[in-house]
Chains A and B, each alone.
Chain A
Amino acid sequence: MAGRVKELYRELVERAHTVTSAAQHEDSTVIQVGNATCENAAGSREVLHEFRKYIAASGKEDRIVLRETGCTGRCSCEPIVGVTRPGQTMVKYQKVDAEATHRIFTQHVLEGHPVPDLLLDAQMGTSPLKLLFCRSRRCADSMQGDYAEMCREKLADAGLDYVVDDIVSANCFGLCRSEMVGRLGHLMVLPDKVVYRLRNEADLDTIIAQHIQGGRIVDTLRIGDEPFSGRFFEMYGDVAFFNRQDRIALRHSGVIDPESLQEYIAEDGYQALAAVLERDDPAWVIEQVSRSRLRGRGGGGYPTGTKWDMARKAQADTKYIICNADEGDPGAFMDRSMLEGDPFSVLEGLTIGGYAIGARKGFFYIRAEYPLAIKRIQHAIDQARLNNLLGPDILGSGFDFDVEIRLGAGAFVCGEETALIHSIEGRRGEPRIRPPYPTESGLWGKPTVINNVETFANIAVVCDYGADWFANIGTAESGGTKVFALAGKVEHTGMVEVPMGMTLREIVFEIGGGVPDGKELKAVQTGGPAGGCLPAKWLDLPVDFRTLGEAGSIMGSGGMIVMDEDDCMVDIAKFFLVFSQDESCGKCTPCREGSRRMLEILERITGGTGTPQDLDNLERLAILMQKSSLCGLGRAAPNPVLSTLREFRDEYLAHVEEQRCPAHRCVALLRFQIDPEKCVGCTACARNCPVLCIQGKAKQVHEIDQSRCIKCGRCVEVCRFSAVDRL
């Protein structure tokens, strides 16, 4: 039986390679356009349509291939278009519109001249040479000494520093698997697309002499065809954004066509499932997952291996496994991106999980608000069934497993596992008391494992590359990477995948590009409505489940929102509480009543009628609610309030003692005033004021009647001379 799995998988791989290579002629140009919810919102549908028109008009349909992929997470630069001419690296363009499409097509696709002003991250500049040293733990530990520094010195000594624009210690390249033996490090040379293995200083000397000075690639040290390395450059043309990231859960997002099983298999997809079925030992899978130190990515951080082990050991005729894709945190979109960009990897992870715990039926619980994700997952399920990767007797192994989609209907509390189970059962999504835990008694009373999308996206990699490799990427407590949705007041908003233990500073400033308009960072909010606001003093905190918890926030599912000096922390706390209060299911009193009373207090404070006593009441209520609520929603809902009370107490005090909002955000505490120095008397404010409380003749200084002002801020918006101050 075992041999049969291998045989059937090999057939699938061969078929996949035939299909994918038939689609890509060696001499054809490939145009890649993102197709995901955010890409589409930014206008990628129109871009795709334009390209189709141009290709048809050019009569070169056989030489120009138009591909659709998921998104790589560069939200602020979308729509993104990649062009690969025969034998060349992919060139990526940002913020492409109809006009840009025309230029890209005529100049680059047809003539072969890239369009410089449209390039992605063009402002970062392309250098003569860029050297990246892998600084993953495996590379750094085995290479004694700092090779990046050594290299810098050697180049300076040889008078070659002008050739090299930048030397970077980058995150793990992911090459460790076949390179596990002996002492090794890795060096990548850009833009030449070469990765070297470094055994010692002599190797470095050889590379400097031959490659950097002589311009000849050192074949003896060059790494051959590795899954992550060989395609690294084709995958991400925009290395500046990515060289500090690790892409594991997002390994295929924006790279493959999410609606092509063949492309997924050609990228080693389903290799892990085949290997697992071939081995025929569920306990091995669980041991791998445990050793990998993979923790639940939905936010709780429970060790996945332990959860699976409990479900495996539970005695029952039927067991279930559920993928929780009810991503409801405001500000989080990692799961949607993975479902849209790489649905097969999540499905493969779910299938392996089902096999490991002994389930024959799995569910995707997806938000109804994600129509494209639902469509992609349904498509993936259908394709997998057609190819014997789902359904009865998968790959001839005797393992039966099928998957069904259930739609959420917009209830945040359904992210809680017992509420989610109730929702799948067709009931109101209200949580219940645990224990019993779902691994013991879950869906229809059967042992059930529920994991998040990102957790499943990691499973195939753990099986493929080994638990130790995965564990080594993260920290001592938590293996692998975490995907964050970086948003708010940050230059590059988008999806970021980094190893556990990276600091907030690196994420926000080095990957995210810092706060725009030269403003000061005030706080980083992690964990959504269940998390807290971390002030700038925590920027050097290594990000992990425990460290974030100790700092007063939580990891959460991965929303990360950057706030600057213009954001009022009391207002932010109120914002999250409005959300939690609205989403409270009403089953238990502490959450239902507590959230409402807390919100009333916060409304008083931001409305200018708060008293110092309110702060104490707020704190007491918050702690009470934390301790006595039934489920995670109620227990975590006070976190934004408590963390801001602790870290930004002065802001609260300014509101209640001086009736002042330091960030000029809380409207009731604002006063609008016209600066006589700046006012030119253009009458714009007076004409636009809805209550006509601005007096003044044309070409004379205007004045606001404070007693009638409703503080709508319209005058600030319409003034072209910045003459209206918010005080």
Chain B
Amino acid sequence: MTHPTPAVTDHWDQVREAAEAVLGDEIVEYIRTAAAQPEPASELISVLHKVQARYGYLDTEHLDAVAQLLQVPAATVSGVATFYHFFRLNKPARYSISVCMGTACYVKGADKVVNRLQEELGIDIGETTSDGLFGLQQARCLGTCGLAPVMMVNDDVLSRVTPEAIPAILDRYAKQSRQDSS
């Protein structure tokens, strides 16, 4: 593979500027460095990681902009973004709760934790509460099996979670959110 060939779009300058405006300076700079590497197309996944780290998820307009700037077909970008579980295509909740469904957590009762969360939040797996505060997911093994069952709330890892502890945990984050906004 060679360096990206110059675009042949009629209004390339406008297209490029629009794409750059969507992604922001930091990511545009990252893509520029990536495009100068020997195999630019191979940087696609790391670019998507950057975008998700910055915006929390991958919107359709992000994907299109990445396709333009990296000069990779939009179908390829969308194919990659949908293939990998790690990439989110919808806006995440303020607090994203992932309950580990690894074997160790499962045998230690992670399913009961999920049930209780569903009950308390009134949402199903993959959904977000109407106020956008909590989202619920099942996670692949988080590799913290010794402390099973485990769940993550954003970047916090909570260990040895019991269904009884759920209401207090949710309260804590709801309170935190109120404090942050006030």
Chain A contacts to B: CB under 8 angstroms: 37-38, 40-42, 75-76, 78, 327-333, 336, 368-370, 406-412, 423-430, 444, 485, 487-489, 493-494, 525, 528, 559, 561, 563, 567, 572, 575-576, 585, 690, 712-713, 717
Query: Known pairs A38-B143, A369-B140, A411-B84. 4 more at Cβ < 8 A?
Result: A40-B157, A75-B146, A410-B85, A426-B44
Give CA–CA (A576, B106) in the complex, Å: 11
Give CA–CA (A76, B49) in the complex, Å: 33
One digit per residue, 1 when the CB lies within 8 angstroms of any chain A CB and 0 when it does not, for chain B 93-130 equals 00000000111101110001001000100000000000
Residue of B49, B80, B103, B146 near A494 (CB, 8 A) is B146
Contact A410 B43 (CB under 8 A): no
Contact B158 A331 (CB under 8 A): no
Closest residue of A by beta carbon distance from B145 = A487
Contact A331 B157 (CB under 8 A): no
20 contacts between A and B (CB under 8 A): A42-B147, A75-B145, A78-B147, A331-B102, A368-B49, A369-B86, A407-B45, A407-B46, A409-B48, A410-B140, A411-B84, A412-B140, A426-B42, A426-B43, A427-B44, A428-B83, A429-B84, A485-B145, A488-B103, A528-B103
Residue of B48, B80, B140 near A330 (CB, 8 A) is B140
B79 within 8 A of A: yes
Give CA–CA (A329, B142) in the complex, Å: 10
Residue of B41, B104, B148, B157 near A426 (CB, 8 A) is B41
Give CA–CA (A585, B86) in the complex, Å: 14
B150 within 8 A of A: yes
Closest residue of A by beta carbon distance from B85 = A410
B33 within 8 A of A: no
Give CA–CA (A485, B147) in the complex, Å: 12
Give CA–CA (A604, B176) in the complex, Å: 44
B144 within 8 A of A: yes
B76 within 8 A of A: yes
> How far does the Cβ of A580 sit from chain B's closest Cβ, in whole Å?
12
A41, A78, A428, A430 interface centre (most CB from chain B within 10 Å): A41
B67 within 8 A of A: no
> How far does the Cβ of B135 sit from chain A's closest Cβ, in whole Å?
16
Closest residue of B by beta carbon distance from A585 = B83
B133 within 8 A of A: no
Report A-chain residues with C-beta under 8 Å of the C-beta of B85: 409-411
Closest residue of A by beta carbon distance from B47 = A426
Task: Tell me the interface secondary structure of chain B in the complex.
Answer: helix
B87 within 8 A of A: yes
> How far does the Cβ of B111 sit from chain A's closest Cβ, in whole Å?
9
Q: How many residue pairs bridge A and B at CB < 8 Å?
A: 139
One digit per residue, 1 when the CB lies within 8 angstroms of any chain A CB and 0 when it does not, for chain B 44-63 equals 11101100000000000000
Give CA–CA (A428, B81) in the complex, Å: 9
**A410-B84, A411-B83, A488-B107 known; A37+B143 contact, CB < 8 A:** yes
Report A-chain residues with C-beta under 8 Å of the C-beta of B148: 487, 493
**A336-B143, A409-B49 known; A331+B83 contact, CB < 8 A:** no
**A369-B142, A409-B45 known; A41+B159 contact, CB < 8 A:** yes
**A331-B104, A428-B79 known; A493+B145 contact, CB < 8 A:** yes
Contact B41 A425 (CB under 8 A): yes
Report A-chain residues with C-beta under 8 Å of the C-beta of B24: none
**A75-B145, A429-B84 known; A330+B103 contact, CB < 8 A:** yes
B101, B102, B159 interface centre (most CB from chain A within 10 Å): B102
Closest residue of B by beta carbon distance from A494 = B146
Which 5 pairs across A and B sit closest by C-beta, in order of nearness? A75-B146, A409-B84, A410-B86, A410-B85, A333-B143
Report B-chain residues with C-beta under 8 Å of the C-beta of A42: 147, 159
B104, B144, B148, B150 interface centre (most CB from chain A within 10 Å): B104
How many chain B residues touch A (CB < 8 A): the figure is 44
One digit per residue, 1 when the CB lies within 8 angstroms of any chain A CB and 0 when it does not, for chain B 7-20 equals 00000000000000
Report B-chain residues with C-beta under 8 Å of the C-beta of A406: 42, 45-46
Contact A575 B103 (CB under 8 A): yes
Closest residue of A by beta carbon distance from B150 = A41
> How far does the Cβ of B4 sit from chain A's closest Cβ, in whole Å?
13
Contact B143 A332 (CB under 8 A): yes
B167 within 8 A of A: no
Contact B104 A488 (CB under 8 A): yes
Contact A333 B103 (CB under 8 A): no
Give CA–CA (A406, B79) in the complex, Å: 19
> How far does the Cβ of B177 sit from chain A's closest Cβ, in whole Å?
22
Residue of A329, A429, A563 near B83 (CB, 8 A) is A429
Report B-chain residues with C-beta under 8 Å of the C-beta of A713: 112
Closest residue of B by beta carbon distance from A373 = B143
Give CA–CA (A75, B102) in the complex, Å: 16
**A428-B80, A428-B83 known; A333+B107 contact, CB < 8 A:** no
Contact A575 B45 (CB under 8 A): no
Contact A76 B42 (CB under 8 A): no
> How far does the Cβ of A353 sit from chain B's closest Cβ, in whole Å?
21
Closest residue of A by beta carbon distance from B158 = A41
Residue of B79, B112, B140, B159 near A328 (CB, 8 A) is B140
Report B-chain residues with C-beta under 8 Å of the C-beta of A78: 146-147
Contact A424 B42 (CB under 8 A): yes
Give CA–CA (A32, B175) in the complex, Å: 35
Give CA–CA (A331, B106) in the complex, Å: 10
> How far does the Cβ of B91 sit from chain A's closest Cβ, in whole Å?
19
> How far does the Cβ of A586 sit from chain B's closest Cβ, in whole Å?
9
Contact B150 A327 (CB under 8 A): no
Report A-chain residues with C-beta under 8 Å of the C-beta of B104: 330-331, 487-488, 493, 561
Q: Which of B66-86 contact A (CB under 8 A)?
A: 72, 76, 79-80, 83-86
Report A-chain residues with C-beta under 8 Å of the C-beta of B144: 37-38, 41, 75, 333
Contact A489 B84 (CB under 8 A): no
Report A-chain residues with C-beta under 8 Å of the C-beta of B132: none
Give CA–CA (A291, B102) in the complex, Å: 37
Give CA–CA (A32, B87) in the complex, Å: 37
Report B-chain residues with C-beta under 8 Å of the C-beta of A330: 101-104, 106, 140-141
